[in-house]
Amino acid sequence: MRDFSWKVFTMTGDVDAYMLYKESLKEDGDEQGEDIWNEEAREEHELM
C-alpha cells in the first residue's frame, strides 16, 4: 500500500495519497519516507 500511495502522489500530487503514504510509514515505524520525499524534491528542483 505504501508504494502505491507514493506512486499516486508522485504522479498526481494528490495530498490525500501523500497523507495515506505518511500514515503507512507511521504504522510500519519506518522513517525512510523523509529520505524519499527529499530525494524526489531534489530531483524536481534540478529539472527546473
The reply to whether 24 falls in a domain is: yes
Question: On the CB side of 6, how many CA atoms lie within 13 Å of its CA?
Answer: 15
Helix (H) / strand (E) element for 5: namely: helix 2-12
The reply to whether 45 falls in a domain is: no
Q: Between 3 and 47, where is the model more confident?
A: 3
**Residues of the domain holding 15:** 1-29
Do the beta carbons of residue 4 and residue 18 sit within 8 Å? no
Range name among 2-11, 14-23, 35-44 with the lowest pLDDT average: 35-44
- Looking at the structure of the chain, the number of domains it has is 1
Q: What is the pLDDT of residue 18?
A: 92
The reply to whether 5 falls in a domain is: yes
Q: Which residues of 25-36 are buried (b: 16+ CB within 10 A; e: fewer)?
A: beeeeeeebeee
Q: What is the pLDDT of residue 27?
A: 77
Say how far apart CA 15 and CA 19 lie, in whole Å: 6
Per-residue pLDDT band at 12 (split at 50, 70, 90):
very high
